[in-house]
Structure 1
Amino acid sequence: MNNILFMKAKTYTLGICLLLFMLTGCKEQPKTVNQQLSTNEQIQELYKSEIEQSIQALDSMSVLNATSDKIEAYKKARQHFKTIEPVLAFVDQNNYKSLNAPNILQVLEEDATDIKIRNPFGFQVIEELLHEEPLDTILLHQTINITRSRLSLIQANTAIELKDYHIIWLLRNQVVRIATTGITGFDSPVLGQSLTESQYTYKTLLTLVDLFKDEFSSETVYNDLKASFETAIEVLNHDFDSFDRFNFIQNHTDQQLKLLIKTQNDWQVTFPFEMAIANTAESLFGAKTLNVSFFTDYKNDTINLNAKAQLGKELFNDKLLSRNKTMACASCHISDLAFTDGRKTFDERQQRNSPTLTYAAYQQSFFMDGRAGSLEGQVVGVAENHDEFNLPMDSLVNRVMKHPEYKTLMTSLYTNKRIEYNIRHAIASYVRTLSSFDSKFDNNINGVEHTLTQAEKDGFNLFMGKAVCATCHFPPLFNGTVPPNFTDTEVELLGTPAENDTINATISDDLGRYDVFNTKEREHFFKTPTVRNIEKTAPYMHNGVYNTLEEVVDFYNRGGGKGIGIQEEYQTLPFDSLNLTTEEQANLVAFMKTLTDADFSTKND
């Protein structure tokens, strides 16, 4: 059980405990420390109280007979859970994820010898069970009991000790969580209470700001931050489908991120390290919003990084790296096509086409089946694949070191002697530069230009709301890496057909993630790709079955594979039609085309 904090450096935990022991043992304590301890006690009291009320509401569901009464009790339980979400999600990320997980079978694949299959539980599962006909009362009560037991466990075993920088992280995470999953309907799949629930979480942020009032030197910053949260609560009092998410993010989310910068400056906060969201993030869709080094295991290798990326670019474009010297990385990842290959499949030996490398850095798994854990690992996969470079890494190293220019650069840029690692790192460093965040959409939502049409704005609002696209393609990356922690990249079963056929459709014979560990529950699962630069990356899906974005939207609108007659037990898409009008579908396409980066928007036009 998480006893203290969500922290990446375990040494800080011991230091905090020792510091608190020393401080509480002194007769005369500085006022700021007394206030800090008192504030943590108040947060802990709020934390336990809300969890207790959620448990009581869940317990009441078991003695109520009418389904409508059970639903009302569930809403109360959910309200208290969401009220404490900002704190729970920060201090106990794993339990929060379990309690708020979608009603989808959980498959945990650490390696071939450690595969766990778990039935989901928690609030989303309860919500869906309550709306099934006939009501499965036995399964419902089982799920309620597991959920309340987990709540009881964390209530009894969580000690909250938050420092000033933790509060800033917590506030920032929740502001981003509301904008990226809260207002999208991600965790209220049936009742559609996402906007109301976002109001609950904002009220908790207000409570926290009040508890830390004495930290503020500037009354203006304190009042502005509170006013921003209060205004957001008012704006969220709106129906789900017509809510203007573009306006909300531009005028509320981004305003709050800027105010948090002022807050941390006012508090004179010193951060021990950076999380996925940069400590200086001022907008949701900013080029510097995310800390790209968070997404690599090689965070310390930053000396001469630009020169290393330039070396990586040269290696990326050099056919020397393949056995027959006929293929380079650039052979499959063509820059003018947003680093895809423009084919249904790369050649007759491949089942899949080449995914875009733009924004590839911001993931936790790589290749379409997620079999590699880093960009550096992906390089090895390509080199040793018989249908790609077909050159073992030791042979590739020999070739590189026999090249005079590469040898000089390798020895001058890297102080270590791990040449294989250095080659992989150089190429990966280049790929990490292929994310500019300067599309028409980015520039408009950041106020750099004002060129979006109403159809394009409507398309974004549909993407984030009624069309439920953003519940899999999460902003700001529009890929499957889940904000605000960005520690998981999701895989999905869409039911992609072998041919563009809505009458006699059969599923593609590519088993996707299954081929990694032969886990049956992962047949036909693929990683959720980014929608950024999608205008340049046709044809679509892993097998290129769709040639246009209009065809892709039609597939989703029908309900994915099941909507065209493909029966897959574990399909992760909603089965029902989205009931989008022809105009709404066109607006969705119009929005997606605004995600083309500036470097590609003028090419091949």
Structure 2
Amino acid sequence: MRFYPLFLIAVLMGFAIMSFNPVYKGIENENTIINKGLSDFKNKLEQLKSDVYLFADDQISLEDLQKSLSNTRNSYKEIEFYIAYHYPEFNKTHLNAAPLFHIEAAGTTAYTLPPEGLQVLDELIFSEEAAQQKEKIKDITGFLYNNYAKFYLSAVKNGLSKGNNKTLPLRLELIRIYTLGVTGFDTPGSLNISEEAAHALLGIKKYINDDLYFKNFDVRKANTVLSESLDYLSKNKDFETFDRIEFYKKYIQPLYEELGKWDGRADDLKEFSGWNVNSKNFFSSDFLDPYFYTLLKPSEDNAQLRDLGKKIFYDQNVSGNEKMSCASCHLPENAFTDLKVKSQSNVEGKTVLRNSPSLYNAVFAKRFFYDMRAFYLEQQAEHVIYNEQEFNTSYESIIKKLKAKPEYKKAFRTAFKDGKINKQNFSKALSSYVASLYSFESDFDHFMRNEKEISEDAKKGYNLFMGKANCATCHFAPHFSGLVPPFYNENESEVLGVTRKPVNQKPLELDDDKGRVNSLVKKENSWIYENSFKTMTVRNIALTKPYFHNGAFNTLEEILDFYNEGGGEGLGLSMKNQTLPPDKLNLTKTEIQQIIAFLNTLTDISKTKSR
């Protein structure tokens, strides 16, 4: 089944295990709980491998195999906080990867590889086609076991990683439980969210009561909340009725804040993650660090620099024909969109290729544009500057114009010590302004911080968004975009099968924009990215119509009708690799309106007034 050579497996395995480790390598073994946990997971994998072969030979039932997988996953969950923090690439790629094809690089060559790991097995073994997928289940289980066995032997031989701040992995696990666990992202087949969350929290509880490091802290409050959360999860096991608001407010957030009081050191995470370790709430404005996503340093940023960036943003003279500014397509009164199907080109009567996305919270990304062709905020502006359909100019021309204006000379002297008007300072100024446009003061943010109330419909809509409607498995909390938790250091794109018209307008045809596969990023020139587009944030979505990259959908009802049908494939269109599940969601009209009620609480354009 697996068509890539053994030497490549070895190369990729070595790369994954040795890849970025945010803390130093310890020469001593980690505490007893970690050693036992790693060993127990290995034993559970051995049992799972045996059970898979028994199932293939019809010696045990599917229910027995499902139980074996659940036992294996529960064992993994108890040490997930440790493995996922100290060996993030190995964990993400080989242990618990999403059930999607992906790109991996070996040297200068990129390979398109099939998915593997626990999530893939969960989807297969809990599917109606499990009996027809016996060989595939055997292959994936064997590959998973072999990968982990190599990792385990290497870890035991070389010594396990040990961090200076042992609360960081635990707080990240709380983010993981809430954003990937109880949403069903981690369990696409079984939806066994409560049991797995319980084992993840149990692993945390064991750890803080076993490791000598935690003797420095008063763990009584954390123990109380952990015990109460385990009791809550034992009584609330239904995926669709699980109250993710109550679970967050009563258990996840208090634990997150309490553990944050114990040790505030960031280790080396600032170089690896956009998560702000000093935040106290997932829905606070400081949960993500905007400077992680831009070349601009905090020490360089100031009000004068933002003011200069704002001046540039609204200045039409920077474009080639001096008739277009950044604000031509990103109007502040429209949440920095233009409300057009596709934005106006600098050529009279023509448009650019795609719809204009909002700039609110745009800084919180590691990839930019719908096709993800830019890798940092400053590069995004560069694409606009040189694009013949947009600014159609160059840095040299822009700098020459700015140098000729006394007001810009004064502004650059005020914002920069060297006072130079050059490409670097121009980019920093523009980035400073765009990076300031974040909006985490919506009604919903205030509600999750216990500062105000929202309607019952909005609450129900949020639980649908996080559960039955599957929205949060792509639009991850709290940014509600494809910025992947818990490290928030990569963006996802999705193949949705977006149509040229809403689903109630026939005939239905697939939009002809190929998306990411045409981004000119060489290593991503793969069939898996055909019709793939960046997952944008749904914050301020009530103000940013029309929707999708092609601007073909005018209302939130039309958007939700499309998802309710299972995207393009669910509508009967031929798709190579739709990443959106094609199954119908079976949302009622009332449920759709409740989701819209929630989405309406995500509006916050307060920065329009303050900036």
The change in CA–CA distance for 1:55 and 1:363 in structure 2 (over 3 A counts) is: farther
User: Cα offset for 1:115?
Assistant: 3.2
2:110 aligned to 110, 115, 118, which one? 115
1:538 maps to 545
Alignment check: 8 A CA contact 1:228 1:256 kept: yes
**RMSD between superposed Cα atoms in Å:** 2.4
2:399 maps to 397
Task: Answer yes or no: is 1:106 the counterpart of 2:102.
Answer: yes
The letter of the residue matching 1:102 is A
The change in CA–CA distance for 1:462 and 1:373 in structure 2 (over 3 A counts) is: same
1:558 maps to 565
Question: How many Å separate the matches in 2 of 1:211 and 1:291?
Answer: 32
Question: How many Å separate the matches in 1 of 2:373 and 2:106?
Answer: 11
Which is worse superposed, 242-251 or 43-52? 43-52
The letter of the residue matching 2:484 is V
Instruction: Please show how residues 377-392 of structure 1 align to structure 2 within 5 Å.
Output: 377-392=379-394
1:160 maps to 160
The letter of the residue matching 1:76 is N
Report the secondary structure of 1:253's partner residue. Answer: helix
What TM-score, normalized to structure 2? Answer: 0.88
The change in CA–CA distance for 1:501 and 1:580 in structure 2 (over 3 A counts) is: closer
Residue correspondences, number: 571
The letter of the residue matching 2:289 is N
Question: How many Å separate the matches in 2 of 1:91 and 1:418?
Answer: 43
Alignment check: 8 A CA contact 1:384 1:391 kept: yes
Report the secondary structure of 2:112's partner residue. Answer: strand
1:303 aligned to 300, 304, 326, which one? 300
Question: How many Å separate the matches in 2 of 1:206 and 1:86?
Answer: 12
Question: How many Å separate the matches in 2 of 1:602 and 1:292?
Answer: 20
Alignment check: 8 A CA contact 1:253 1:283 kept: no
Instruction: Please show how residues 306-385 of structure 1 align to structure 2 within 5 Å.
Output: 306-347=303-344, 348-385=350-387
1:183 maps to 182
Question: How many Å separate the matches in 1 of 2:316 and 2:190?
Answer: 55
User: Cα offset for 1:419?
Assistant: 1.8
Report the secondary structure of 1:62's partner residue. Answer: helix
Question: How many Å separate the matches in 2 of 1:191 and 1:390?
Answer: 52
Report the secondary structure of 1:410's partner residue. Answer: helix
User: Cα offset for 1:62?
Assistant: 1.5
Question: How many Å separate the matches in 2 of 1:501 and 1:244?
Answer: 31
Alignment check: 8 A CA contact 1:4 1:161 kept: no
The change in CA–CA distance for 1:526 and 1:555 in structure 2 (over 3 A counts) is: same
Report the secondary structure of 1:107's partner residue. Answer: strand
Report the secondary structure of 1:117's partner residue. Answer: strand
1:91 maps to 86
Report the secondary structure of 1:115's partner residue. Answer: strand
The change in CA–CA distance for 1:149 and 1:176 in structure 2 (over 3 A counts) is: same
Alignment check: 8 A CA contact 2:402 2:421 kept: no
User: Cα offset for 1:139?
Assistant: 1.8
User: Cα offset for 1:311?
Assistant: 1.0
The change in CA–CA distance for 1:95 and 1:600 in structure 2 (over 3 A counts) is: same
Task: Answer yes or no: is 1:81 the counterpart of 2:76.
Answer: yes
User: Cα offset for 1:403?
Assistant: 2.2
Task: Answer yes or no: is 1:61 the counterpart of 2:58.
Answer: no
Instruction: Please show how residues 430-449 of structure 1 align to structure 2 within 5 Å.
Output: 430-449=433-452
Which is worse superposed, 93-102 or 485-494? 93-102
The change in CA–CA distance for 1:39 and 1:148 in structure 2 (over 3 A counts) is: closer
- Per-residue CA shift, 1:576-597, capped at 9, x if unaligned? 1101111111100110000000
Identity level (%): 31
Instruction: Please show how residues 97-496 of structure 1 align to structure 2 within 5 Å.
Output: 97-98=92-93, 99-108=95-104, 114-130=109-125, 131-133=127-129, 135-158=132-155, 159-165=159-165, 167-212=166-211, 215-217=214-216, 221-237=218-234, 238=236, 239-264=238-263, 271=267, 274=270, 275-298=273-296, 300=297, 302-347=299-344, 348-415=350-417, 419-450=422-453, 452-496=454-498
Question: How many Å separate the matches in 2 of 1:340 and 1:79?
Answer: 45
What TM-score, normalized to structure 1? Answer: 0.89
List alignment gaps of at least 5 residues for structure 2. 1-13, 345-349
1:31 maps to none
The change in CA–CA distance for 1:189 and 1:160 in structure 2 (over 3 A counts) is: same
User: Cα offset for 1:488?
Assistant: 1.3
User: Cα offset for 1:143?
Assistant: 1.1
Question: How many Å separate the matches in 1 of 2:483 and 2:290?
Answer: 13
Question: How many Å separate the matches in 2 of 1:551 and 1:248?
Answer: 31
User: Cα offset for 1:271?
Assistant: 4.7
Runs of 4+ aligned residues of structure 1 deviating over 6 Å after TM superposition are: 2-5, 600-603
User: Cα offset for 1:164?
Assistant: 4.0
1:27 maps to none
The change in CA–CA distance for 1:39 and 1:97 in structure 2 (over 3 A counts) is: closer
Question: How many Å separate the matches in 2 of 1:250 and 1:576?
Answer: 32
Question: How many Å separate the matches in 1 of 2:591 and 2:33?
Answer: 47
The letter of the residue matching 1:211 is D
The change in CA–CA distance for 1:311 and 1:48 in structure 2 (over 3 A counts) is: farther
Question: How many Å separate the matches in 1 of 2:164 and 2:232?
Answer: 29
Which is worse superposed, 369-378 or 74-83? 74-83
Report the secondary structure of 2:519's partner residue. Answer: helix
The letter of the residue matching 2:323 is T
Which is worse superposed, 403-412 or 332-341? 403-412
User: Cα offset for 1:5?
Assistant: 9.4
Alignment check: 8 A CA contact 1:277 1:290 kept: yes
Question: How many Å separate the matches in 2 of 1:5 and 1:565?
Answer: 41
Report the secondary structure of 1:545's partner residue. Answer: coil
User: Cα offset for 1:505?
Assistant: 0.9
The letter of the residue matching 1:106 is H
Question: How many Å separate the matches in 2 of 1:51 and 1:418?
Answer: 59
The letter of the residue matching 2:486 is P
Report the secondary structure of 1:302's partner residue. Answer: helix
Which is worse superposed, 569-578 or 96-105? 96-105
Alignment check: 8 A CA contact 2:82 2:169 kept: yes
The letter of the residue matching 1:345 is K
User: Cα offset for 1:234?
Assistant: 1.7
User: Cα offset for 1:516?
Assistant: 1.4
Task: Answer yes or no: is 1:547 the counterpart of 2:545.
Answer: no
